[in-house]
Structure 1
Amino acid sequence: MFVNSDNYIKYLKLWLITLFLLIILMVAVGGLTRLTDSGLSITAWELFTGILPPLNVNDWNFYFSQYKKIPEYQNINYDMTLSEFKIIFYWEYAHRLLARFVGLFSLIPLIFFSLTFKDSKYYSNKYYLIFFLVCLQGFIGWYMVSSGLIENNDVSHFRLSVHLSLALLILSLIFWFILDIFKVKRFHEKISNLLLLFILLLIVIQIILGAFLSGLDGGLIYNSWPDMNGSFFPNDVKFNDIINSQLLSNPSIIQFLHRSTAYLLIFFIMILNYFYIRQKHDFKYLLFFDVVILIQIFLGIITLISGVEIKYASLHQLGSILVLSTYILILYKNSN
């Protein structure tokens, strides 16, 4: 049987790029859902139901009555009207609807590829890993939401960080596959793997700390830079706060760690720049990464100083995608 491998590669490229853009959109909508405090507006998972929004007054009253049972409404939004509820409902609804579409789009083309191009010498089952991770992401999303339905006024910042981190892992994997299928050239002389992996670790830690900060509303305190309301270290933190088990639940400490990791990241990126210059690598990729990092730092400062205005906070979150993606390109070009 003759199989047109060129068509397989063409369709595969189109699928990967589209999926990459869809997940960026998903992260953006998810970030806005978090920033507008909309994530708990739908209190049931509704894996196979809930595709259509409420279509009449009775449906709206049902969803609103379910929302009234959770702590966020009882302790914070107790004076919310149905009209106000509809706003936060539609953010969460859009996020879930998009998630369903991403799930289907991550599977249906793969089934088509398996049935049509399995005899192609380029065919690989490795892309099913994307679908598996997307399914896992759906489960983690509900696991996160469930943490805010019984005892807490909000979702767990730990679960929020896992949800965001997994989304960025899926993005990174897809981007790596895109670079591979477009046969992006690698460097002959490589940069130290230890340095590259350490910078990646710092980027991942910084993203996790950013998620913690978002989950704890930690950007609403110490809205000054470069100091923290006149001091280097937060003045509402005592030594016992640093060594106790609640360290990662203290918004002041998390904001301090987020700032400190940014400074450490800049230092090691400067070292990476030195190695690029010394080994005479094509500098345009790293220069682009440098610019992205500087923009991300600027957005972080503006977000903080503005008291976490939604437009700046959303751009800052999207900036983390650009930082990670451009660094994945650098890792790819230095890989074997």
Structure 2
Amino acid sequence: MTNASSPSGVDPASQSVLSPETIYRRQEAAKRNRRVLRMWLGVVLIAIFALVLVGGATRLTDSGLSITEWKPIHGVIPPLTAEEWQEEFELYKRIPEYQQINAGMDLAGFKRIFWWEWAHRILARGVGVLFAVPFLVFLVTGRIERRLRWPLFGLFVLGGLQGAIGWWMVASGLSERVDVSQYRLATHLTLACIIFAAIVWVSRGLAPHSADEAPSGLRRFAGLLAAMILVQIYLGGLVAGLDAGLAYNTWPLMDGAFIPTDVLAIEPWWRNIFENPKLVQLDHRLFGYLVWCATLLHMGHAFAVAPGTTHARRSAILFALATVQAWIGIATLLTQVPFDLALAHQGAALILLGFATAHLRGFYGAYPPPVMVRVGTQTPEEKLPSAA
């Protein structure tokens, strides 16, 4: 098997000097491997995007507690007979959500919420398989560069942790509450977005980059933006968990006031930040304004210090995406969180985070090539024939 990750013009097995033709073939093999890995990670990103949207739909339809047991293997198969459906329904009747919110629901109504949660869980398992199986194949066949093996394995571990956090979230609503904990829901959503952003980071590093230079301050600003967007997504998770989007449905004021009354009604005061729907919605609004202003400043900074570069052009796209996301959020609020707009708002947040991550990764350039251009006494600056 050709070792496409040889670090120099010396074969690591025989320590013999490689010919220019051999190094050229290995470089081309490395480029092909990177293309294959990018395609694979792109498919995983699409699957995670779909998973996040289905998770949002599960929340919007109040379906998340319809499956009351965690069966990672057996749970793949839904109820197939009338008896199995009735058994599943009886389990649901034991939890507070049914007893206090959905008492009197018939089996047909239960099936509607069951299928949303089952689809979310089966899609999550599918994403795990979609990541794990190709990863093992690429690892065994030597297609994954040494520098990426542990990071990709770490992403696989995070995916497993995300599944456990998902059940931890569901468990919070099975005994005393009629819904899941907003803390756990926001954690579940944020970790999914971290995994999504990390895959974007790796995939972008495997792609060709421009050679445009940019000041380090601009790169740090881009990093701050990506972190701010992630914080805003966490705040959005709190809004979803508390149904805080329904607390006020006016804009720009909140029922005639910039800061509504009773935003500090809960003691101690700091709990209002996470548990008072009025303050939670206000926090999400204000931080959203801050994110939008920051993307505007970043765009102005980029065009001032790095005009004509890909960094400046990407900053303009990032600002446009932030503006679209802000308008979707306002429309969602004013129309009292309809299903389609709420999902669009969640999906646009993921797109914004993904682009902000790719924008930040662009400042660092592609991963160094796995094969150095050096043969015998040749220097690294002496290039071999290009495949272009």
Q: Same fold (TM over 0.5)?
A: yes
Structure 1 match to 2:170? 145
Aligned equivalents of 1:107, 1:123: Cα separation in 2 = 14
Matched, 1:211 2:237: yes
Structure 1 match to 2:340? 311
Distance of aligned partners of 1:186 and 1:163 in 2 relative to their CA distance in 1, 3 Å threshold = farther
What does 1:262-301 align with in structure 2 at a 5 Å threshold?
262-279=288-305, 280=307, 281-282=309-310, 283-301=312-330
Matched, 1:2 2:31: no
Q: Which of residues 283, 286, 307 in structure 2 aligns to 1:260? A: 286
Relative to the length of structure 1, the TM-score reads 0.94
The structure showing larger relative contact order (alpha-carbon pairs under 8 Å, at least 6 residues apart) is 2
Report how far residue 200 of structure 1 moved. Answer: 2.7
Distance of aligned partners of 1:186 and 1:259 in 2 relative to their CA distance in 1, 3 Å threshold = farther
Aligned equivalents of 1:60, 1:307: Cα separation in 2 = 34
Matched, 1:18 2:43: yes
Identical counterparts, % of pairs: 35
Structure 2 match to 1:83? 108
The number of residue pairs the alignment matches comes to 336
Does structure 2 retain, via aligned residues, the 8 Å contact 1:186–1:333? Answer: no
Q: 1:117-143 CA deviation, whole Å, 9 max, x = no partner? A: 269778734311221111111011001
Matched, 1:175 2:232: no
Q: 1:9-47 CA deviation, whole Å, 9 max, x = no partner? A: 333122111111110011111111111110100000111
Aligned equivalents of 2:283, 2:144: Cα separation in 1 = 52
Does structure 1 retain, via aligned residues, the 8 Å contact 2:66–2:92? Answer: yes
Question: Whose Rg is larger?
Answer: 2
Distance of aligned partners of 1:307 and 1:199 in 2 relative to their CA distance in 1, 3 Å threshold = same
Q: Which of residues 329, 338, 357 in structure 2 aligns to 1:328? A: 357
Structure 1 match to 2:189? 164
Aligned equivalents of 2:355, 2:172: Cα separation in 1 = 33
Aligned equivalents of 2:144, 2:296: Cα separation in 1 = 47
Unaligned runs of 5+ in 1: none
Q: Which moved more, 1:205-214 or 1:239-248?
A: 239-248
Aligned equivalents of 2:358, 2:143: Cα separation in 1 = 29
Q: Which of residues 142, 146, 157 in structure 2 aligns to 1:117? A: 142
Q: Which moved more, 1:30-39 or 1:234-243?
A: 234-243
Aligned equivalents of 1:239, 1:69: Cα separation in 2 = 33
Report how far residue 266 of structure 1 moved. Answer: 2.2
Report how far residue 269 of structure 1 moved. Answer: 2.0
Unaligned runs of 5+ in 2: 4-28, 366-388
CA RMSD of the aligned region, Å? Answer: 2.0
What does 1:6-155 align with in structure 2 at a 5 Å threshold?
6-117=31-142, 124-155=149-180
The aligned amino acid for 1:62 is E
Does structure 1 retain, via aligned residues, the 8 Å contact 2:273–2:279? Answer: yes
Q: 1:136-165 CA deviation, whole Å, 9 max, x = no partner? A: 110110010000001111001111011111
Relative to the length of structure 2, the TM-score reads 0.82
Aligned equivalents of 2:211, 2:201: Cα separation in 1 = 13
Matched, 1:249 2:275: yes
Give SS of 1:117's match. coil
